[in-house]
Structure 1
Amino acid sequence: MNSDNKTACTFSGKREKRMPVGGQAVIEGVLMRGPQRWGLAVRQQNGEIVREHWDAVLRTSSFWWKCPMIRGLVIMFEMLKIGIRALNRSAEIALGDEETITPLEFAGSVAFALIAVIGVFVALPVWLAHLGGEFWSLSETWKNVFEGLLRGTFFVLYVAGIGLWKEIRDVFRYHGAEHKTINAFEAGVDMTPENVMNYSRIHPRCGTSFLLIVVIVSIIVFSIAGHGSLLWKIMMRVLLLPVVVGISYEIIRAASSIQKLGRIILWPALSFQYLTTREPSIEQVEVALAALEEALDRPLYDRSGGEEYNEFGE
């Protein structure tokens, strides 16, 4: 056996010490984050898988990564920035769309999205909770609980609604492929598509789980924010969002490190993933594996029927 085969077997077998990896689904593909770089894999309309990568910020060397509460915000902004870049690039690869948007168009799209999110998931629940509180003579505490329930309901309905579109269902399948691949990798098994297919499409560090935890934590944080006018409440909720995000990240981080107890704590968020993921095909798992290989900069399984590996195992 040559040295390349030895290296690949070590990386795909149980002997390797696994490091945490993460990712997200994109259009017809998957984005993965390794210790030192991001890996993107997208399947083109002709069936070929296109791979790309770029350097990642080393979190362990960052001062902000060591600061509880703050590191959650840093990671969120990093994921938003990289996620938008990956989505745009995946659309170009998968759909053959070579047109690029101008900085002004991009800024307008982001501004519109932020206004829509604040309007639907912040302002609307506050307003409806205010009306409901007046109608049923609710205390401020119960108004906050009602507001949180409305926000959670809107979020679940939104995800369920977009899941009715075929294009979004395809993204959810790649989301499932991403989770299966990470679960198999962290379990230390041989990373063949067939093995990966046997793993769960649910993962405790999922970003959608994080968003549901944000909704739950917001009920508590907003309850201690005090009382005021309707406009004041909306402004306070926007200002307190970083606090909610920071607390939510620390909960996810702590719960994912204590295994069985963590799964009990995160049960509502984990159950929510049955909406945001679908069972993938083996071809979609192949794309997720390609993205992880690109992120780790090494092959994970032999595609050549026992012959020598090349740099990316193709």
Structure 2
Amino acid sequence: MKSSNIGGQAVMEGIMMRHGDSYSIAVRKPDHEIEVRVKPYQSLIQNKKILSLPIIRGAISFFDSLIIGTKCLMYSASFFEDEEEDDKEKAKKTEEEQKRQEKWLMYGTVGFSIVLSVAIFMMLPYFLTNLLRHLISSHVILSLVESVVRVAIFLLYLFIVSHMKDIQRTFEYHGAEHKCINCIEHGHALTIENVRDSSREHKRCGTSFLFYVMIVSAILLMFVRVNSPVLRIVVRLLLLPVIAGISYEIIRMAGRSDNKFVNALSKPGLMIQHMTTREPDEEEIQVAIEAVEAVFNWKTYLAENFDYDIEDGEGKKSFSEAYE
């Protein structure tokens, strides 16, 4: 495996793919045509020195992903709104007003998502564990219990979401995203057949990232001892960027290495991905391929990193050999 540094996200009836300084959104519209849009990628922080600093770059990347992901979700959802209602609204508003409203809606959505995630996955486990404080005096044991509760809530959340009918299609696109990236990174032409045969598990997945967030937070909180209940909450909030940054570094390392220890470390996250990905159909794979090709020259990548001939469109290794 050779990391391509391409990443993505499933959206409504489509996929976002990001590579370098641009990202694409490919959406299967109600008329079954595929709409592809390419936009420049701009980080919240433009300073390259800051973006190269370990841990800090991870925290920034986390917030960047939230903003871009929300933008892409809103864009994909726009194809499925009631057309008549949409036309009436557009007639009442100027283009500038629409952009302003969309901007504030996006920031509101990101803010609400962050608050809700912190409340469910950070604060709720703390408050539930705090009920046992009069029974358990050991700080280490309390921290372990809080971590177990946090992981349990996370897994329960994924289990419930994965069984919602409305989300099944999105998880199929999530699977198509992973399969495309795996296909390229294992040295194979980006064809429907090769993508279909690829794995839907990937070490750089956001699901794995969230799992590492749980583990890293468990370890860090074991070493933080605060007597004040208010300060315990404050500390958990202040540690969030650090936790996100460390988790990012783990994911980054996992995506670049086939070391046995790293692979073992990645196993739990890969197993959880069975809840957040589904096998895609041919139409979903086509959308994923178009999203990749809009921002990434996979033929050049294969020629530079694998035994692949651009003119013949073939490599010497068969697909099955790459997984043996």
TM-score, normalised with respect to structure 1: 0.83
2:305 paired residue number: none
Instruction: Provide the identity percentage.
Output: 37
Give the superposition deviation at 1:60: 11
Asked whether 1:67 is paired with 2:53, we answer: yes
Give the superposition deviation at 1:119: 1.8
Distance 1:46 1:177 in 2: 21
In the TM superposition, what whole-angstrom CA distance separates every residue of 1:45-91 from its partner, at most 9, and x where no partner exists?
Answer: 11111100111249998222321111101211211111111000000
Asked whether 1:38 is paired with 2:23, we answer: yes
RMSD (Å), alpha carbons = 2.4
Residue correspondence of structure 1 range 1-314 to structure 2 within 5 A: 19-57=4-42, 62-95=48-81, 98=86, 101-135=101-135, 137-261=136-260, 262-296=262-296
Give the direction of change, closer, same or farther, for the CA distance of 1:75–1:23 in structure 2 (3 Å limit). same
In the TM superposition, what whole-angstrom CA distance separates every residue of 1:248-281 from its partner, at most 9, and x where no partner exists?
Answer: 1112222332214222111111111111111111
Give the direction of change, closer, same or farther, for the CA distance of 1:292–1:219 in structure 2 (3 Å limit). same
Give the superposition deviation at 1:108: 4.0
Distance 1:50 1:220 in 2: 44
The question of whether the paired residues in 2 share the 8 Å contact of 1:127 and 1:230 is answered with: no
1:305 paired residue number: none
Give the direction of change, closer, same or farther, for the CA distance of 1:125–1:62 in structure 2 (3 Å limit). same
Question: Which stretch of structure 1 is more off in the superposition, 228-237 or 107-116?
Answer: 107-116
Give the direction of change, closer, same or farther, for the CA distance of 1:298–1:272 in structure 2 (3 Å limit). closer
Instruction: Report the AA paired with residue 75 of structure 1.
Output: S
Distance 2:224 2:298 in 1: 49
Give the superposition deviation at 1:193: 0.8
- 3-state SS of 1:40 partner: strand
The question of whether the paired residues in 2 share the 8 Å contact of 1:39 and 1:293 is answered with: no
2:319 paired residue number: none
How many pairs align? 283
In the TM superposition, what whole-angstrom CA distance separates every residue of 1:277-313 from its partner, at most 9, and x where no partner exists?
Answer: 111111101100011111227899xxxxxxxxxxxxx
Distance 1:154 1:104 in 2: 30
Gaps of 5+ in 1: 1-16, 301-314
Instruction: Report the AA paired with residue 239 of structure 2.
Output: L
Distance 1:232 1:61 in 2: 33
The question of whether the paired residues in 1 share the 8 Å contact of 2:189 and 2:299 is answered with: no
Instruction: Report the AA paired with residue 113 of structure 2.
Output: A
Give the direction of change, closer, same or farther, for the CA distance of 1:179–1:107 in structure 2 (3 Å limit). closer
Give the direction of change, closer, same or farther, for the CA distance of 1:232–1:83 in structure 2 (3 Å limit). same
Give the superposition deviation at 1:116: 2.0
- 3-state SS of 2:146 partner: helix
- 3-state SS of 1:242 partner: helix
Gaps of 5+ in 2: 90-97, 301-324
In the TM superposition, what whole-angstrom CA distance separates every residue of 1:156-175 from its partner, at most 9, and x where no partner exists?
Answer: 11111112222211111100
Give the direction of change, closer, same or farther, for the CA distance of 1:105–1:157 in structure 2 (3 Å limit). same
Instruction: Report the AA paired with residue 270 of structure 1.
Output: L
Instruction: Report the AA paired with residue 79 of structure 1.
Output: S
2:311 paired residue number: none
Give the superposition deviation at 1:236: 0.8
Distance 1:65 1:144 in 2: 32
TM-score, normalised with respect to structure 2: 0.81
Instruction: Report the AA paired with residue 169 of structure 2.
Output: D
Give the superposition deviation at 1:103: 4.7
